Structure 1
Amino acid sequence: MDNISIVGIIVAALAFFFLGGAWYTFLFGKQWRAEVGISEEEAAGASPNPMMFVYSILVSLVIATTLAKLISESSVEYGLKVGLGVGAGVGAAILAQNYVYEMKSVRFWLINAGYVIIGLGIMGTIIGAFQAA
């Protein structure tokens, strides 16, 4: 645990944050908004609260720190495996459990779970790379 990289944590958290921005706008924004019930007109006129971004970055830092503590073997491959494993085995599974009670669509779950799995895979890869250096 001595090899935890603070820079790796920060870079991974920022990567997750920016992936979320791309994921929920350019990549799957239209589908996600349709599932949430936000019209394109409402989305175009909406002004996001800046605190949403602050909270998102803080949560990303918590996730990255947790992953850094789990990635004991410092390598890109191991970081990727841990990130994907935690993303699928914990993140996506928790979202699935929530959707059972929230009665959301499978498409909505796939959009959100995909972001968690891919995002944590990227975070783990970055952290593994920085901790190996």
Structure 2
Amino acid sequence: METLAAISRWIAKQHVITWCVAREGELWCANAFYVYDPQNVAFYVLSEDNTRHAQMTGLHAPVAGTINGQPKTVALIRGVQFKGEIRRLEGKESEMMRARYNHRFPVARVVSAPVWEIRPDELKFTDNTLGFGKKLYWLRNSGSEQA
């Protein structure tokens, strides 16, 4: 659990996620502010249904993406790569996560975009502050963690 805890601590300090979806041989990526839920290892974003990535996603789809900082020095590079699934939330689940999202990003209160859950099955955290090229891995289904 220490690997996931280390990854989660870093993720909680960031606020922008990039995710990519594919459909019928076409790829598209998007960026958004996110709320991270460390208990469920999931990210929550707002995105309008009429966006290209939402149209490609439908109600759910495979997803891959990244979260990264913008250091000026290679020795300080840190970032997460992930793959998993994205899905549009509905009903009470959506309302609950929207409240959390609005709490973190109050400006979002004026946006009526749907809430989407990005649920990674795999996380890879590169942390050069632990040594050049240091990687930490987490897999949801196996409970596996490795440095």
Answer yes or no: same fold by TM over 0.5: no
Q: Which has the higher contact order (CA 8 A, sep 6+)?
A: 1
> TM-score, length-normalised on structure 2?
0.25
Q: TM-score, normalised by structure 1?
A: 0.27
Higher helix share: 1
